[in-house]
């Protein structure tokens, strides 16, 4: 699928603001893929579709998680986590993207996980540093992303965990696993 068609398909699912975010993630993902040697075309596709399910009705996402045998512990944690695995499923079944690497990058773009593939890392980080993001600490992550993918990811996931903890919110176990994995395998 080419970029124009992909963007046309995803635009229908998103608000204007979220579509602009998607364009930012696409451009950042391409840049990171070029810099760190990931597949640029796959990074572009995964980025375009990463938030495909962002505005899917919660009840439908819940039903999808149960019906498709996705980890049911997702339902105990923030509903913000759901659009990632549900998005991967919809992008496969409704959009017709069959590439497993692209689908996994969509599936894990919110929670992260241990042993992330290069493509998963690129999409996760692009989602965090795209030019439209303005949260505290993002500039430091952007600078790290100039030369060290894993250090940038550690900083990004650490910021996210601290952000959730400051609000006394739960942290999904895979996110903690992502942090531990990156820190324990630090070069
Ligand atoms: O969809 P986006 O807003 O572009 O970004 P995202 O898919 O990374 O979603 C992040 C949201 O998910 C953010 O509002 C925080 C929320 N969230 C809730 N629980 C967790 C969580 N994010 C992570 N990484 N881990 C959690 O346990
Ligand atoms: Fe998202
Ligand atoms: Fe994210
Ligand atoms: Fe996003």
Q: Summarize pLDDT for 12-62 with one digit per residue, the tens.
A: 999 999 999 999 999 999 999 999 999 999 999 999 999 999 999 999 999
How remote is the CA of residue 108 from the centroid of ligand 3, in Å? 9
Q: Is the predicted pLDDT of residue 64 greater than 90, yes or no?
A: yes
Does the Cβ of 109 fall within 6 Å of ligand 1? yes
Mean pLDDT of the chain: 97
Contact 106, 123 (CB under 8 A): yes
What is the predicted pLDDT for the residue at 1? 92
Tens-place pLDDT, residues 79-124: 999 999 999 999 999 999 999 999 999 999 999 999 999 999 999 9
Does the Cβ of 178 fall within 6 Å of ligand 1? no
Give the number of the atom of ligand 1 that is nearest the alpha carbon of residue 77: 19
Tens-place pLDDT, residues 125-178: 999 999 999 989 999 999 999 999 999 999 999 999 999 999 999 999 999 999
Residue-by-residue DSSP string for the chain: --HHHHHHHHHTTS-HHHHHHHHHHHHHHHHHHHHHT--HHHHHHHHHHTTTTTTS-HHHHHHHHHHTT--GGGGGS-GGGTHHHHHHHHIIIII----HHHHHHHHTTTT--TT--HHHHHHHHHHHHSTT---TTHHHHHHHTTT-HHHHHHHHHHHHHHHHHHTT----HHHHHHHHHHHHT--
Give the residue, by CA position, lying nearest to ligand 1 atom 16.
80
CATH number of 3-184: 1.10.3210.10
Domain boundaries, the chain: 3-184
How remote is the CA of residue 125 from the centroid of ligand 3, in Å? 7
To test the ligand 1 pocket, which listed residue (53, 110, 164) has its Cβ within 8 A of the most ligand atoms? 110
For the record, the structure tokens of 16 come out as 């204007």
Question: Where does the pLDDT of residue 187 fall: very low under 50, low under 70, confident under 90, or very high at 90 and above?
Answer: confident
Does the Cβ of 111 fall within 6 Å of ligand 1? yes
């Amino acid at each position: 699928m080419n970029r124009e068609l992909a963007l046309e398909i995803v635009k229908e699912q998103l608000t204007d603001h979220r579509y602009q975010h998607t364009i930012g993630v696409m451009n950042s993902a391409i840049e990171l893929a070029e810099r760190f040697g990931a597949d640029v075309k796959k990074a572009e596709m995964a980025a375009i579709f990463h938030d495909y399910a962002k505005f899917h009705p919660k009840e439908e996402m819940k039903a999808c998680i149960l019906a498709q045998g996705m980890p049911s512990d997702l339902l105990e944690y923030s509903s913000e986590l759901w659009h990632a695995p549900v998005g991967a499923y919809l992008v496969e079944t409704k959009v017709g993207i069959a590439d497993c690497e692209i689908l996994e990058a969509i599936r894990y773009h919110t929670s992260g996980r241990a042993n992330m593939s290069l493509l998963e890392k690129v999409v996760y980080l692009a989602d965090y540093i795209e030019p439209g993001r303005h949260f505290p600490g993002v500039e430091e992550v952007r600078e790290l992303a100039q030369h060290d993918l894993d250090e940038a990811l550690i900083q990004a996931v650490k910021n996210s965990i601290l952000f959730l903890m400051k609000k006394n919110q739960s942290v999904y176990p895979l996110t903690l696993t992502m942090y531990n994995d990156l820190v324990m395998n630090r070069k």
